[in-house]
Amino acid sequence: MDETQWRELVAQTRQGNKEAFVKLYNETQRSVYFTALKLTANEDNAKDVMQDTFMTALEKLDTLEDGAKFPQWVNGIAINKCRQYFRNS
């Protein structure tokens, strides 16, 4: 997916287009899952982190300045969620 497509999906999601968010999710869920799995070393915890990550991404999408950076941004959220997980464990 190119930068224009990322920006368009983020803009559509900000306008409430649920299908656009599903596309963002589908394009990034694998990367987010494997990031969480690598850091937590547990499939169930990785799935929990992934769910929290995408909930936070949807809630905080307005803070993303450049929609083309969505993949890096959402993976950063996943890393922070893993850190949170270890602090709370």
pLDDT 10s digits, 54-76: 999 999 999 999 999 999 999 99
pLDDT of the residue at 86: 87
pLDDT of the residue at 29: 98
Cα radius of gyration rounded to whole Å, the chain = 13
pLDDT of the residue at 88: 87
Answer whether 55's CB lies under 8 Å from 44's CB. no
Please give the model's pTM, rounded to 2 decimal places.
0.95
